[in-house]
Amino acid sequence: MHNSTGAGNGRVVAVVVTHQRLAQLRVTLPALLASDPQALAAVLVVDNASDDGTPEWLAAQSDPRLSVLRLDENRGGAGGFDAGMRRAMRDLSPDWIVVMDDDARPEPGAMAAFQALDLSGYDGFAAAVRHPNGALCEMNRPTYNPFWHKGILLRTLLGGGRGAFHLGPEDFATPGLRAIDGASFVGFFVRAAAVQRRGYPDPALFLYGDDAIYTMGLTKAGHRLGFDPSVRFEHDSSTYSAADPRIKPLWKVYYYHRNLLILYRIATGLFFVPVLCLYLPRWLLRLRHHRGERGRFLRLFGLALIDGLRRRTDRARAEVLRIAEGRR
């Protein structure tokens, strides 16, 4: 790949995956295209078969940096990022690809801040992600794998919980580049040369955990991922609600638990069985929130357990939907 922009880290191409959220895309796309072309060379929007006016709105956009890949079916976040990154590599000559959902976007100056970093020795980079109100976005905090770091594992076991192995407020407040082990697909930059060597996100994962599986896979393969709070993204997400702890829609129960099992196998190594014994009861406790649909929850959870342990990712989406809807 070549550095054709004259910018510090070369030619950056954004890949945005969207499905039925035109209102969010109408905020995200202008935020991306407000970046200087020297900092952001191209934007590829992957439309996961939306029928809410998204295709028509995209067709009316005139910025020459924008290209659109419309998929004939909803392939989920994982399938969308796989298809988008492949198209970007084939057609848009990136030095780096940055990925995000349709409800996430760079804050003003974020792309210029990325170009100002010295990322020699790094093949991936995670932005600092906040909610629109400025609070840290919990689901997008970069992470360390405690099973690769004895000190972090000890802090986790001594009661530190998630905070022991996710970057926290002090990391977001401290300038400077530092190494991490994993990140989410919101403001995640990956060097094109690393994609050429290691491949693409697994589209069969559909959604949940595909980003952690991909980024920890890069680290495990010897690539270095970095974080610097100077590159800021906003994530206008309402996926998790403290007021309603159910997993909605119910079909997500299958993908969430299956993919976590696949991730934990990568992350924990020899500790997989004790970690599984720790988490299984916690996951089953979610059953209490699903009155009226507990039988379907258990069927989906059981399939997730079987497929996750076997690392099977080829179960038909139609079957998952049929079980979730209670159809024979």
- Based on the fold, state whether residues 228 and 259 are members of the same structural domain: no
Domain annotation covers residue 108: yes
Q: What is the predicted pLDDT for the residue at 248?
A: 87
Q: Which residues are CB-contacts of 256 (< 8 A; sequence separation ≥ 6)? A: 208, 209, 247, 304
pLDDT in tens, 96-138: 999 999 999 999 999 999 999 999 999 999 999 999 999 999 9
What band does 240 get if pLDDT is binned at 50, 70 and 90?
low
Domain co-membership, 296 together with 154: no
DSSP H or E run through 105: strand 104-106
Average pLDDT over residues 188-217: 96
- Tell me, what's the pLDDT at 4? 42
Cα distances (angstroms) measured from residue 123 to each of 149, 184, 229, 254: 20, 15, 17, 32
Q: Are residues 119 and 189 in the same domain?
A: yes
Half-sphere exposure of 103 (CA within 13 A, CB side): 14
The dihedral through the CA atoms of 163, 165, 167, 171 has a sign that is positive
Mean pLDDT of 316-321: 95
Per DSSP, helices labelled H in 174-271 are 192-198, 210-220, 252-268
Residue 223 sits in the same domain as residue 115: yes
What pTM, to 2 d.p., does this model score?
0.92
Place 147 in a pLDDT band, splitting at 50, 70 and 90: confident
Considering the domain architecture, whether residues 50 and 160 belong to the same structural domain is answered as: yes
Kindly tell me if the per-residue pLDDT of 243 is higher than 70: no
Instruction: Tell whether 247 is covered by a domain.
Output: no
Residue 307 domain boundaries: 252-324
Calculate mean pLDDT across residues 61-71. Answer: 98
Name residue 70's beta-bridge partners. 47
Q: Where is the domain boundary, 184, 203, 235?
A: 235
Residue 246 located in a structural domain: no
Residue 59 — very low, low, confident or very high, per pLDDT cuts 50/70/90?
very high
Q: Distance between CA 84 and CA 71 in Å, rounded?
A: 10
Q: For 151-166, write each residue's pLDDT tens digit.
A: 767 776 666 666 656 7
Tokens standing for residue 185: 């697909």
Cα 51 from Cα 22, distance rounded (Å): 10
Average pLDDT, integer, range 49-74? 98
- Regarding whether 224 and 310 lie in a shared domain, the answer is no
Helix (H) or strand (E) holding 274: helix 272-285
Is residue 110 domain-resident? yes
pLDDT for 81 beyond 70 = yes
Is 205 part of a structural domain of the chain?
yes
Pair 139, 266 in one domain: no
Specify whether 149 is located in the same domain as 267: no
CATH number for position 21: 3.90.550.60
Task: Give the pLDDT confidence score for residue 244 in this predicted structure.
Answer: 73
Pairing relationship of beta strands 225-235 and 104-106 according to DSSP bridges: antiparallel
Total domain count, the chain = 2
Residues 177 and 126 in one domain: yes
105, 222: one domain: yes
Cα-Cα-Cα-Cα torsion 124, 259, 201, 273, nearest 10 degrees, comes to: 60
Q: In the numeric block, which tokens belong to residue 77?
A: 């976040």
Report the pLDDT value the prediction gives residue 2, as an integer from 0 to 100: 41
Widest distance between CA atoms in the chain: 59
Q: What is the pLDDT of residues 261-291, one digit of tens each?
A: 999 998 988 889 998 998 899 999 999 999 8
Percent of the chain with pLDDT over 70: 92
Residue 291: inside a domain = yes
Question: Is residue 25 over pLDDT 70?
Answer: yes
Average predicted confidence (pLDDT) for the chain: 92
- Average pLDDT on 216-243 reads 89
Q: 214 with 258, same domain? A: no
Of 204, 235, 266, which residue is a domain's last? Answer: 235
Q: Which of 19-33, 163-177, 186-200, 213-227 has the lowest mean pLDDT?
A: 163-177
**DSSP code of residue 207:** S
Phi and psi at residue 129, to the nearest 5°: -110, 130
**pLDDT recorded at residue 163:** 63
